């Protein structure tokens, strides 16, 4: 019974990272975003809201709407990402790569309130390579409507081998 | 009259010689600095050493994750002993480094514990701190950094920003100039930097303090030709 329920469960996981990003939380709980998620077969919306002060309304989904739940912080973000069918995340490199490595479709929402906004560079560059979608809080709905998850290219994780090789050669170690 | 004149001349001579000494000192120092800058970035001869005392400067969150990704592919017997430094306000990074070292100890039980140490450093300026009080905290941070560097005297420094690594790298450069310790500084710019270097990266690149400089996006390598493009660490 539980298995069947899990099979039907399609979770959208929203994460704002260690700070707050109320604009994103507000954007995902707007009615037209929720409607779009329902249309795409999603059933659950789970929000990690960090230090935010905007608390969304919880919903048990009895009337056929999305099941909405939230929490502030968790040490098992990876588990939530793993169980999600779509991740909507802030632009932090940690969340971005954690999601991409787990092979989950990802929409990155850039926080326009941040002063030093170099992080949108990363999201932009990864969108150019079609690894994710990249948007802003007020355009989240349009992105959801237009996106085609099938066209996303799976991300192949990199590693430090090229750096290690150059460091080893520089220090006079033989190649192995 | 003559005595006064003599006195004046000898004063002038001594002033002149002091001046000469100062000029000579400055010239020598500049020659040494130029030599150090010239030598930086020159590789070691094959088989220069079996292992190097290594300082790993941990940034925070994403920076630490990238650094651990690099460490996981380095041959650890070549970078022994290892000293980890993180900002005093960052509790997570040293914890992650510890569990990384523990995972190594499981793989190679013989080399555990003795080969790694963990330290915290005061930050010169917290986010939102006023500039007046940050003069004082900067002095404290520099003195503390100097103390740590004298204790560690690293031969290899691995860093990837943000600001915590700057005072340590500058001290390492001074050590090179003064002949206290020669070190090789490797800086990997964060994967989050695609079009522009971070302030730390820019400083270490422009001042030629980093011996080898790595970037994770080809766009950056085009702008900074002395950097190595190495693809994403993550």
- Residue scoring higher pLDDT (B114 or B82): B82
Q: Which of B198, B219, B232 is nearest residue A158 as measured by Cβ atoms?
A: B232
Shortest alpha-carbon distance between residue B53 and chain A (Å): 12
DSSP chain A: -HHHHHHH--EEEEE-TTS--HHHHHHHHSHHHHHHHHHTT--EEEEE-TT-S-PPPPB--TTSS-EEEEES--TTHHHHHHT-SEEEE-S-HHHHHHHHHTT--EEEE--TT-SS-THHHHHHHHHHTTSSEEE-GGGHHHHHHH--GGGPPPP----SHHHHHHHHHHTTPPP-
Provide CATH code, domain A2-170. 3.40.50.2000
* In-domain check, residue B177: yes
Q: What is the CA radius of gyration of chain B?
A: 22
How many other CB atoms are found less than 10 A from the CB of residue B72? 14
* In-domain check, residue B28: yes
pLDDT score, position B109: 65
* In-domain check, residue B64: yes
Q: Which residue of A has its CA nearest to B79?
A: A168
pLDDT tens for each residue of A66-98: 999 999 998 889 999 999 999 999 999 989 999
Do B216 and B106 fall within a single domain? yes
Do B26 and B83 fall within a single domain? no
Please state, in angstroms and rounded to a whole number, the distance separating the CA atoms of residues A29 and A50. Answer: 16
Do B147 and B98 fall within a single domain? yes
* In-domain check, residue B46: no
Best to test chain A binding among B182, B192, B217 (most A CBs inside 10 Å): B192
* In-domain check, residue B158: yes
Counting residues of chain A whose pLDDT is more than 70, the rounded percentage is: 94
Do B146 and B123 fall within a single domain? yes
ipTM comes to 0.89
A153, pLDDT greater than 80: yes
Q: Which residue of A has its CA nearest to B198?
A: A118
pLDDT score, position A5: 55
Placement of tokens 């081998």 in the chain: A161
Do B31 and B111 fall within a single domain? no
A120, pLDDT greater than 90: no
- What is the residue-averaged pLDDT of chain B? 89
pLDDT score, position B56: 97
Do B17 and B101 fall within a single domain? no
CB B228 within 8 A of CB A166: yes
A109, pLDDT greater than 70: yes
Do B69 and B27 fall within a single domain? no
Do B117 and B154 fall within a single domain? yes
Do B81 and B27 fall within a single domain? no
A4, pLDDT greater than 60: no
Domain assignments of chain A as residue spans, ordered by start: 2-170
A14: which strand partners?
A47, A88
Give the mean pLDDT of A143-160. Answer: 94
pLDDT interval class at B113 (50, 70, 90):
low
CB B193 within 8 A of CB B213: no
pLDDT tens for each residue of B116-168: 999 999 876 666 677 777 788 888 888 999 999 999 999 999 999 888 898 99
* In-domain check, residue B44: no
A171, pLDDT greater than 80: yes
> Pick from A54, A5, A1: which is nearest to A25 by CA?
A54
Looking up residue B89, the CATH number of its domain turns out to be 3.40.50.2000
- Split into its structural domains, chain B has a count of 2
pTM for this model (two decimals): 0.88
* In-domain check, residue B45: no
Q: Is B49 in CB contact (< 8 Å) with chain A? A: yes
Q: Which domain holds residue B131?
A: 54-229
Q: Which two tokens stand for residue A49?
A: 């809201």
For chains A and B, CB pairs below 8 A equal 106
Contact state of B70 with A97 under an 8 Å Cβ cutoff: no
* In-domain check, residue B5: yes
Do B6 and B120 fall within a single domain? no
A1, pLDDT greater than 50: no
- What is the residue-averaged pLDDT of chain A? 91
B72, pLDDT greater than 80: yes
pLDDT interval class at B114 (50, 70, 90):
low
Q: Which of A 69-108 lie inside 8 A of B, CB atoms?
A: 92-94, 97, 101
Do B68 and B155 fall within a single domain? yes
pLDDT tens for each residue of B181-218: 999 999 999 999 999 999 899 999 999 999 999 999 99
pLDDT tens for each residue of A22-44: 999 999 999 999 999 999 999 99
Do B28 and B59 fall within a single domain? no
Q: Which of B48, B61, B73 is nearest residue A164 as measured by Cβ atoms?
A: B73
């Amino acid at each position: 019974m539980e298995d069947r329920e899990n099979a039907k469960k399609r979770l959208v996981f929203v994460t704002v990272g260690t700070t707050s990003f109320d604009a994103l939380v507000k954007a995902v709980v707007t009615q037209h975003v929720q409607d779009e998620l329902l249309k795409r077969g999603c059933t659950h919306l789970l929000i990690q809201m960090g230090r935010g002060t905007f608390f969304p309304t919880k919903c048990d989904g009895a009337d056929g709407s999305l099941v909405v739940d939230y929490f502030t912080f968790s040490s098992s973000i990876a588990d939530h990402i793993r169980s999600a069918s779509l991740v909507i995340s802030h632009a932090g490199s940690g969340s971005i790569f954690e999601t991409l490595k787990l092979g989950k479709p990802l929409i990155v929402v850039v926080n326009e309130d941040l002063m030093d906004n170099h992080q949108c560079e990363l999201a932009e560059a990864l969108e150019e390579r079609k690894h994710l979608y990249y948007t802003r809080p007020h355009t989240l709905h349009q992105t959801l409507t237009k996106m085609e998850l099938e066209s996303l290219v799976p991300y192949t994780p990199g590693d430090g081998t090229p750096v290690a090789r150059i460091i080893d050669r520089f220090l006079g170690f033989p190649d192995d | 009259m003559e005595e006064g004149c003599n006195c004046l001349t000898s004063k002038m001579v001594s002033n002149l010689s002091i001046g000469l000494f100062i000029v000579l000192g400055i010239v020598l120092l500049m020659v040494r600095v130029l030599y150090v800058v010239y030598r930086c970035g020159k590789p070691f001869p094959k088989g220069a050493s079996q292992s190097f005392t290594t300082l790993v400067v941990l940034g925070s969150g994403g920076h630490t994750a990238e650094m651990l990704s690099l460490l996981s592919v380095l041959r650890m017997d070549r970078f022994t002993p290892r000293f980890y430094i993180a900002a005093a306000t960052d509790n997570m990074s040293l914890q992650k480094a510890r569990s990384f070292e523990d995972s190594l100890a499981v793989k190679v039980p013989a080399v555990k514990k003795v080969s790694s140490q963990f330290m915290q450093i005061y930050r010169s300026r917290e986010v939102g701190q006023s500039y007046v009080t940050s003069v004082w905290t900067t002095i404290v941070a520099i003195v503390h950094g100097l103390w740590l560097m004298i204790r560690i005297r690293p031969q290899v420094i691995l860093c990837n920003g943000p600001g915590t690594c700057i005072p340590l790298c500058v001290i390492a450069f001074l050590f090179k100039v003064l002949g206290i310790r020669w070190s090789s500084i490797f800086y990997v710019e964060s994967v989050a930097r695609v079009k522009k270097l971070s302030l730390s990266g820019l400083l270490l690149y422009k001042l030629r303090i980093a011996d080898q400089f790595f970037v994770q996006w080809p766009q950056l390598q085009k702008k900074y030709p002395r950097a190595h493009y190495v693809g994403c660490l993550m």
